[in-house]
Amino acid sequence: MPEGHTLHRLALDLTEAFGGRVVTVTSPQGRFAESAAALDQTLFIEATAHGKHLFCEFDDDRFLHVHLGLIGKFQLVAPEPTWGEVRVRIATRERAADLRGPQLCVVATRAEIDATMAGLGPDPLRPDADPELAWRRIRRANRPIAALVMDQTILSGVGNVYRAEVLFRNRINPHRPGNKLTRKSWTGIWSDLVELMPQGVRDNRIDTVRPEHTPEAMGRPPRSDNHGGEVYVYRRAGMACLVCGSKVRTELLAGRNLFWCGRCQRRG
């Protein structure tokens, strides 16, 4: 679930559900009980996101700083009894939001939030993002571009799905070192993310396949992917590339599964 679009969507939904309201904050699972009690029955101002970080602002300059990690979920549900391991529940009489399995869940000050954001690269989902900051680092880096776009200090919000898909859509060889990437390729990556990620926020899923490459348009049977979206290469190892038909390749890169098409992706 959680790449940048998930967190931005969550910020919108949480603000809509709780913004300007006094909320109940509890920790059914118990591990966050003390902090929950400190926020309980206070005003929820708004939720914002930067990259994969979520910040819920409460009255008196207090923030709930959440990072979902790989398996975390923060779901809006009816205010009925919780099930499973719920670290935090934020609720009104009408709505509830349950947080499970977060990598990070702490109460923070504004200064701490600012420090966190200062360590993050530009986020394609934020209007104030400056892509030049990312490019300056990428053009000097020796590491493969596939590692650089996932580095949250360089670019924030991109995860394993967006990395695979944006490199495919721009026909870029994922192993190309940053310092050998053309400026044109970088411009392509950034503008593509600026186009794709808001769609991800809107639809709450990642779809990257252009209309002319859908199975229907290509005269192939429709596919069903278990992650919910239509994608070119992510988790399609061994299957036929939707564009050229050659086998999608996979490899472990920096501890994560990388997927790409060796024939389509040759640009630098």
Partner DNA sequence: CGAGCATGGTGAC
Partner DNA sequence: TCACCCTGCTCGA
Catalog residues that contact DNA under the rule CB under 7 A: 1-3, 6, 29, 31, 51-52, 67-73, 84-85, 87, 100-103, 150, 152, 159-161, 206, 227-228, 235, 254-257
Q: Which is nearer to DNA, 67 or 213 (CB)?
A: 67
Q: What minimum distance in Å lies between the beta carbon of 257 and DNA?
A: 5
Which letter does DSSP use for residue 176 in this model? Answer: S
Residue 256 is a catalytic residue: yes
Residue 3 is a catalytic residue: yes
Q: Six-digit token pair at 65? A: 């700083």
Closest CA to 28 of 93, 68, 83, 67: 83
Q: What minimum distance in Å lies between the beta carbon of 29 and DNA?
A: 6
Q: Six-digit token pair at 89? A: 């529940």
Q: What minimum distance in Å lies between the beta carbon of 203 and DNA?
A: 12
Q: Which is nearer to DNA, 52 or 176 (CB)?
A: 52
Q: Six-digit token pair at 124? A: 């394609």
Q: Which is nearer to DNA, 13 or 19 (CB)?
A: 13
Q: Six-digit token pair at 184? A: 């044109």
Q: Six-digit token pair at 189? A: 């990556």
Query: 232 near 243, Cβ under 8 Å?
Result: yes
Q: What minimum distance in Å lies between the beta carbon of 184 and DNA?
A: 26
Rounded Cα distance, 47 and 266, in Å: 41
Exposed/middle/buried for residue 137 (C-beta within 10 Å: 0-12, 13-18, 19+): middle
Q: Which is nearer to DNA, 45 or 206 (CB)?
A: 206
Active site residues: 2-3, 52, 256
